[in-house]
Chains A and B, each alone.
Chain A
Amino acid sequence: MPATLFDKIWDSHLVARRADGRDLIYIDRHVLHELHAPHAFEQLQKQQRPVRRPDLTFSMQDHTVATKPGRDDSTNPSGAAFLKAMREGSHRNAIRLFDIDDPEQGISHVVAPELGMVLPGATHAVPDSHASTVGGLGALAFGCGTTELAHILATQVMALRRPKRMLIRLDGRLGPHVTAKDVALRIIAELGVAGARGHVVEYAGAAVRAMPIESRMTLCNLNIEMGGRSGFVAPDESTFSWISGRPFAPQGAMWERALAHWRTLGSDEGAAFDREHVLDCSSLEPQITWGTDPSQVLGISGRVPDPSAADQSRRAAIESALAYMGLEPGMALAGLPVDRVFIGSCTNSRLPDLQAAADVVRGRHVAEGVIAMVVPGSTSVKRAAEAAGLDRVFRDAGFLWGESGCSMCAGGNGDRGEPGERCVSTTNRNFEHRQGPKVRTHLVSPATAAATALAGRIADVRHVPPGRT
């Protein structure tokens, strides 16, 4: 019977069925971060349980690290205890740690792929809801809580109920300045914040095939914002060449053997999905969220909804979102003054993201009164960006250029906006108070964020002339 790629990966990782009916799925790579792992380390220590496979486990310091140049543990005082506990727990359990001063430190979802820890057809777990970012490489990744994290450390398996399968086919070709971020926001707008609940999503179609690997990761990153259990893109030749030569990926004869296997990874012709959704990307314009959840999305030329014209069941939610965001029904977002612009996070902090923003910025200046900040997703990305001169482009334009980490995405490191500020951000959640108390967040692509920083107002990047060289 024809099988989906999800079924193939699941079945090949099925260790046993547990007494309570859950499938034990082997986890090939487990990546931890300091906001949650310390609690799991403590739990295991109390129970005197060892970490079963420290060699398949990696520790990252990302959520609480300061982004100020010259940072150390004390730069963000509230992070110090997390960093220390992570260091001690990782050391005690012989887990390789990418510490705050490591030349390869960064956001787990950025570092794991760029070092070759993530492989097609492999399973992956992170105690973070954005785990499926690495689905962009054809890996099946699950986010989990702290107790589940301890379970994986002790057993190297996750006890899961088999999710359903969804296919999202992205047809057509993206227009200029329209990115994976815009596609993902449009999908969430169409399916809703619970639209993929209980499902593993396979993203397919011509628009996905044309996407560079980093864009596929952006697409899969936002899968959780519609409640998806996981999301991935089947690997292809561009995946393989992207992974080739990365330090933790197989090398030499082993690489050839892996490659032969990876080339067989795909959903069979005629494989059945529980649900299918199709989006034609050709006419898509840059997208932006207007409200307080990632499904409240507009095309950049669109207008904010009018609650009085909305379905009764949605009226209250729209009214409350408009009030929080300081918006009037029916107004356009383009042209609205902003206070802050943030470019970074596991969604949009890889080199091509920074490149796209820099291409807009080059030779121009951030509008007066706007605080604009770029935080690379990893120290490696930062180094590569600096080698390409991108830091100069940003700094000359008046952007702050930070050390890598999660930063303003959730504000766990103290980076955040001031009450009432309007912040245009390349992150993944526009929930109330997420980027600071009363901060009004609009989610966009890096190019739109860059254009907005220059204009000091929400801008349609398609109308900005190319950057000067």
Chain B
Amino acid sequence: MTRRADRVVIAVLGLVLAGLGTVLVLAAGDVLDLDEPATLLDRAARSIDQRPALWLGLLALAAGLLVAIGARVLRRSLLRPSRPAAIELSDGPRGRTRLEPAAIERAVRADLRHVDGIRASRVTLRTTGPRPRLRVVLTLDPALADVAAARAATEAAYRRLATCLALEGVRADLVVRVGKRSTVSRVH
């Protein structure tokens, strides 16, 4: 789940709580002209008794909505996106050749391993097809951090991958990070 989505969920919860609190505070201060709590409760109970199908149906809808939202929030927060199926390279009378996503990820990682300044890389294949989507996270050495060179190296790796697998191209999301300095303190 993205940070922005997290914030929207928190803000909505906050608005609901603050709205409820405001209504109760206004009612307590006689600013809102509401019936007494016991009267409202009795009226609600009578209404449910008179039309149970309608009210239970509405309550079930609301509860179902809560279950759906809760499940979606939890799934997006806790579960990783599912891995795509293998890429089919060929399917002919002699058989079928498929390539697992892990093989593609390893190939791109290996391609980037020996680039100067790149300390580590993490590659994830998000989707397959003629233009697969990759997510690449590079960690650069702070002393040699050349973002332009790292980007050029990844572009070259994408091109090699596309050529090697006869793909139309590669869509990519690249995140460049800079690692921590290995020396904690120096005195000159």
Q: Do A and B bind each other?
A: no
